[in-house]
């Protein structure tokens, strides 16, 4: 199932930089004509790259790199706007390749430059695009923050088409939150603005979103009506991203209606488009839908074949991400280790100096006090002739003894602090070395082994029951294999949790629902709900803060 989330990415630059009437053939002619001014050739190449960013992002990336070479050769590298435009197209292209990390990198760089040169129009385009990326990461608060920021700019400058883009994607946020009333409200706002500005692809994408919402609400006749409208527009405009979304929606719709023949046909159509535009995630989803359909009709051979294709793509995505994470892990580990060593050394030196200074101060104070007391004692000794004088003498002697004892105790405490800190550093360095060893072990494993070990461990965790202390200790051992150091970090962050609350937090980390947690702990889902509520109060979470996200961050 695919919601259309890329409206702004396909709309932004053509409305602000390039003419919609420029045809590719004539643009190639302009670029290849070296008698033309380089600045004109550069503009043509940017327009060509933009035209490929949605349906053929790999080609778009190559063309932008070529444009950057031309930009440098004509010494326009100081033109910040051109650089920002390059970054924007690269961000869009990587978004359509599902490489969100690089998309974030280029879009954030573009937004920063547009802000510096006070280009509100294109800064707004960047904000909307970044909002869509946060939506893809299911960070709905951040997605709304950037989309509303973009909407404010588009409203101020009267950019109705991109106002529609913002409304549409705000609707997508509500779709993900299953708030379909709000989702329809914003989708129809977007549709009205697209119709006013004759933005055909925008109208088609709105139809697709409205069709998807109706499908989720089980209004299947309406869902079919709007998806067919969207498909008609996507085919007329050769909008392959739009076709991909509608094919996915139609495959899912007919699956729900038990019309498995049409569901298979639309999944096959989605596969063809996804392969044309390099949408690996779309291919993976299509294979999954085909596997589900073939299982329902009892065709287990084809179900298995499509499941295998889905798994190959899933493994491919996992291995790429896993390799990146391993490199990031190594880099972060080395940086963290170096920072810890420097911090530990600085802290140790500071404590030693402070301890030495305190010791010196205590010694000097004690010597002065002793001299004063002795002097006082000697001056008054000759006057001690009566019983009263003797009592005073004894009191002074007791005071001297108490001050001396206090000085010795303070010196002893300072020494204990130094010893304890040194032992803490030893343990910390030991933990770092163990972590490094574990990391090296991880690097030595093949990605398939890492994947299998992780899946086996998570499977054991999800099938466990925690009814006794023995069960809990076994569960903790498995959990530590999957989430190294979780309980230590949890204790550091939230030291006042009870054992029962720690168990619930660990199950939240596994992303189990309340019923699954209740089954594992031998209690009802309502008890789990009550425990979560008390936990939120105990750790002072506001209504806008998600306990699941808090646990994921630990």
- Using CA atoms, how far apart are residues 251 and 49, in angstroms rounded to an integer? 32
454: which residues sit within 8 A by CB, 6+ positions away? 482
- Using CA atoms, how far apart are residues 92 and 61, in angstroms rounded to an integer? 9
* Residue 329 C-alpha from the chain's centroid: 16
| Domain contains 453 | no
pLDDT at 370: 72
Of the pLDDT bands very low, low, confident and very high (cuts 50, 70, 90), residue 267 is: very high
What does residue 3 show for φ and ψ, rounded to 5 degrees?
-90, 145
Residue 381 has pLDDT above 80, yes or no: no
| Domain contains 432 | no
Are the CB atoms for 38 and 73 separated by under 8 Å? yes
With both helix axes pointing from N to C terminus, report the angle between 514-521 and 499-509 in degrees, rounded to the nearest 10.
130
* Residue 348 C-alpha from the chain's centroid: 36
* CA atoms 383, 387, 392, 395: torsion sign: positive
Nearest to 269 by CA among 216, 227, 313, 316: 227
Buried b (16+ CB within 10 A) or exposed e, 490-515: beeebeebeeebbbbbbbbbbebebe
| Domain-ending residue, one of 143, 177, 211 | 177
Are the CB atoms for 152 and 160 separated by under 8 Å? no
Residue 369 has pLDDT above 90, yes or no: no
Q: The CATH number of the domain where 486 resides is what?
A: 1.10.10.10
Q: The CATH number of the domain where 117 resides is what?
A: 1.25.40.10
pLDDT at 183: 94
- Using CA atoms, how far apart are residues 130 and 336, in angstroms rounded to an integer? 29
411: which residues sit within 8 A by CB, 6+ positions away? 359, 362
Q: Please compute Rg for the chain using Cα positions.
A: 34
Nearest to 193 by CA among 11, 447, 454, 443: 11
- Using CA atoms, how far apart are residues 385 and 437, in angstroms rounded to an integer? 77
Are the CB atoms for 373 and 396 separated by under 8 Å? yes
Mean pLDDT of 273-289: 86
- Using CA atoms, how far apart are residues 89 and 47, in angstroms rounded to an integer? 10
Residue 406 has pLDDT above 60, yes or no: yes
| Domain-ending residue, one of 119, 149, 177 | 177
- Using CA atoms, how far apart are residues 429 and 33, in angstroms rounded to an integer? 64
Distances 158 to 117, 193, 198, 477 between C-alpha atoms, Å: 20, 11, 15, 59
- Using CA atoms, how far apart are residues 448 and 310, in angstroms rounded to an integer? 16
- Reported residue count of the chain is 554
Q: Worst-scoring range by mean pLDDT, 2-11, 38-47, 109-118, 339-348?
A: 2-11
What percentage of the chain reaches a pLDDT higher than 90?
28
Name which residue leads in pLDDT, 376 or 190. Answer: 190
* Residue 393 C-alpha from the chain's centroid: 74
Nearest to 24 by CA among 52, 62, 65, 61: 52
pLDDT digits (tens, 9 = 90+) for 156-182: 999 998 999 999 999 999 999 999 999
Nearest to 38 by CA among 79, 92, 91: 79
pLDDT digits (tens, 9 = 90+) for 291-350: 999 999 999 899 899 999 888 887 766 555 444 443 443 344 344 445 555 555 566 566
pLDDT at 438: 57
| Domain contains 294 | no
| Domain contains 327 | no
For 153, the 3-state DSSP assignment is helix
pLDDT at 410: 64
* Residue 339 C-alpha from the chain's centroid: 24
Q: Which domain does 545 fall in, by range?
A: 461-552
| Domain-ending residue, one of 161, 177, 193 | 177
- Report pTM: 0.48
| Domain contains 418 | no
pLDDT at 351: 65
Split into its structural domains, the chain has a count of 2
pLDDT at 206: 92
Q: What angle do CA 540, 546, 548 make, to 5 degrees?
A: 110
For all residues of the chain together, what is the average pLDDT? 77
| Domain contains 305 | no
Mean pLDDT of 378-392: 65
The CA-based dihedral angle spanning residues 227, 249, 282, 446, taken in that order and rounded to the nearest 10 degrees: 170
pLDDT digits (tens, 9 = 90+) for 244-259: 889 999 999 999 999 9
| Domain contains 11 | yes
The CA-based dihedral angle spanning residues 530, 536, 542, 543, taken in that order and rounded to the nearest 10 degrees: -30
Strand residues in 232-369 grouped as ranges (E): none
| Domain contains 188 | no
* CA atoms 57, 63, 64, 66: torsion sign: positive
Are the CB atoms for 242 and 208 separated by under 8 Å? yes
């Amino acid at each position: 199932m695919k919601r259309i989330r890329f409206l702004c990415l396909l709309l932004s630059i053509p409305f602000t930089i390039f003419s919609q009437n420029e045809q590719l053939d004539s643009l190639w002619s302009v670029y290849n004509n070296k008698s033309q001014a380089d600045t004109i050739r550069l503009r043509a190449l940017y327009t060509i790259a933009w035209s490929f960013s949605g349906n053929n992002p790999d080609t778009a990336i190559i063309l932008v790199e070529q444009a950057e070479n031309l930009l440098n050769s004509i010494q326009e590298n100081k033109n910040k706007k051109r650089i920002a435009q390059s970054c924007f197209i690269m961000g869009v292209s990587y978004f359509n390749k599902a490489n969100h990390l690089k998309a974030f990198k280029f879009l954030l760089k573009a937004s920063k430059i547009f802000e510096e040169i006070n280009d509100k129009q294109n800064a707004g385009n960047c904000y909307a695009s970044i909002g869509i990326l946060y939506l893809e990461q299911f960070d709905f608060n951040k997605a709304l923050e950037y989309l509303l920021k973009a909407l404010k700019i588009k409203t101020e400058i009267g950019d109705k088409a991109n106002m529609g883009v913002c409304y549409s994607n705000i609707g997508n946020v509500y779709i993900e939150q299953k708030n379909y009333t709000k989702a329809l409200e914003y989708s129809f706002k977007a549709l009205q603005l697209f119709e006013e500005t004759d933005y055909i692809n925008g109208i088609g994408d709105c139809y697709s979103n409205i069709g998807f919402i109706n499908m989720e609400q089980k209004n299947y006749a309406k869902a079919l009506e709007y998806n067919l409208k969207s498909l008609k527009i996507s085919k007329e405009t050769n909008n392959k991203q739009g076709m991909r979304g509608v094919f996915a929606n139609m495959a899912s719709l007919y699956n729900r209606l038990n019309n498995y023949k049409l569901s298979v046909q639309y999944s096959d159509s989605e596969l063809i488009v996804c392969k044309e535009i390099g949408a690996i995630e779309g291919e993976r989803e299509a294979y999954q839908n085909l596997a589900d359909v073939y299982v329902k009709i009892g065709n287990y051979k084809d179900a298995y074949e499509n499941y295998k294709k889905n798994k190959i793509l899933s493994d491919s995505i996992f291995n790429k991400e896993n390799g990146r994470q391993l490199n990031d892990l190594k880099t972060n580990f080395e940086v963290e280790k170096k920072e810890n060593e420097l911090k530990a050394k600085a802290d140790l030196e500071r404590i030693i100096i402070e301890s030495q200074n305190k010791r010196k101060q205590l010694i000097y104070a004690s010597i002065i006090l002793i001299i004063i007391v002795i002097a006082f004692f000697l001056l008054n000794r000759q006057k001690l002739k009566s019983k009263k004088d003797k009592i005073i003498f004894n009191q002074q002697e007791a005071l001297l003894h108490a001050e001396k004892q206090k000085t010795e105790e303070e010196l002893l405490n300072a020494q204990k602090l130094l010893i304890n800190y040194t032992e803490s550093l030893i343990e910390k360095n030991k933990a770092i070395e163990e972590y490094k060893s574990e990391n090296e072990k991880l690097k030595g494993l093949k990605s398939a082994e890492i994947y299998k070990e992780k899946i086996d461990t998570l499977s054991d965790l999800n099938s466990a029951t925690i009814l006794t202390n023995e069960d809990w200790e076994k569960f903790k051992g498995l959990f530590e294999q999957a989430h190294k150091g979780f309980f230590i970090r949890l204790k550091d962050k939230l030291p006042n949790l009870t054992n029962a609350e720690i168990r619930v937090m660990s199950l939240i980390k596994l992303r189990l629902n309340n019923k699954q947690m209740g089954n594992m702990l031998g209690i009802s889902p309502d008890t789990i709900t009550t425990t979560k509520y008390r936990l939120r109060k105990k750790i002072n979470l506001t209504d806008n803060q998600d306990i699941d996200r808090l646990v994921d961050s630990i």
